[in-house]
Structure 1
Amino acid sequence: MNPRRKKRLFTVAGIILGIGSAVGLTLYALQENINLFYTPSELVNGKGESHDMPFIGQKLRIGGMVVPGSVKRDDTTLNVEFQLIDTGPLVTVRYHGILPDLFREGQGIVAQGTLVEPTVVEAFEVLAKHDEEYMPAEVAEAVKGIKHEKPGYKLNYSKGEN
């Protein structure tokens, strides 16, 4: 092989290696920022036909209805713990901070956080839906037509009351 072709070969190989490295590093960086959405049922039973389970330490978003009577606030700190439900199992959400003004029991919420136990999410952000008409499409599909009531506690879903 003559020196000119050898130089071209090394140049092309270097360019391909550089592009490959850049793509690999980009994909690795994006992988850490992906937050998958789960409902409480999907978190416990797995997501999709393959029943993919999130792993402990995975960042995720979880959405569902706050179970009436499940909100527990610490009197000395900003720690709050509550349970979410959709159509099946309960999932506990722990949060340190001030909850949104629209947060209340029986309300649909979305929390972003890290899975710390199979049914416990340590949230760093809690979002409450902002009116009676709107709910994220993923949450609306998961809780479609479901009304959860605590025994002896009647939820009123008419607009403007709760």
Structure 2
Amino acid sequence: MAGLKNLKKKRRVQVLALTTVALVLSVSLIGYAFRDGINLFRAPAQVMEDPPRAGEIFRLGGLVEDGTLVRGEGTHVTFSVTDGAATIPVTFEGVLPDLFGENQGMIGTGSMVEGTFVATEILAKHDETYMPKEVMDALKEQGVYQEPGS
């Protein structure tokens, strides 16, 4: 009888240990998968105040500054993004969204290279009144955003 009790206790400890190892492994794999998948949003003023570390991928958002959109050869485009407090030059190689334009809200994913944001993806508003929440909040914080129709 005592041998059966010890066997059950040993089995319970083994199951508990195996469950703990599986849980630790799962959390580690999830953390590893997210390490490159989470891109923090920053407004131009935030980038100037606290520059990102070298190679850090993040999302930059604001308004495309009037008069800065220059289309180069092929699909190369340069422009500046502003939140009213700071302006960041941007370069992008690719096809821009149809509604992308000057004085319009945008969010780009990329990294800073020698003071220029090198975008790998550009998102623009999807209709005439929409602006991404992060961009709207950053512009409101700088006192630049005005509600549509005002």
Q: TM-score, normalised by structure 1?
A: 0.74
Q: CA RMSD in A?
A: 2.4
2:112 aligned with 1:108:
no
Equivalence map 1:35-114=2 (5 Å): 35-46=39-50, 53-75=51-73, 77-113=74-110
Aligned to 1:137: 133
Distance in 2 separating the partners of 1:23 and 1:66: 40
Q: 2:37 corresponds to which letter in structure 1?
A: N
**CA distance in 1 between partners of 2:22 and 2:125 (Å):** 45
Give structure 2 stretches of 5+ with no counterpart.
Answer: none
| Letter in structure 1 aligned against 2:123 | L
The answer on 1:127 being equivalent to 2:131 is no
- Over residues 91-123 of structure 1, what are the superposed CA-to-partner deviations in whole Å (9 max), with x where a residue is unaligned? 12211111122111222111122x133642221
C-alpha contact (below 8 Å) 2:59/2:107 kept by paired residues: yes
Q: CA deviation at 1:6?
A: 4.3
Higher helix share: 2
TM-fit CA distance, 1:83: 0.8
Which SS does the other structure have where 1:143 is aligned?
helix
2:28 and 2:68 map into 1 onto residues whose CA distance is 44
| SS at 1:55 equivalent | coil
Partners of 2:93 and 2:120 in 1: how far apart? 7
Residues of 1 paired with 2:86 and 2:28: CA distance?
38
| Residue 60 (structure 1) shift | 1.5
1:90–1:119 CA contact under 8 A, matched in 2: no
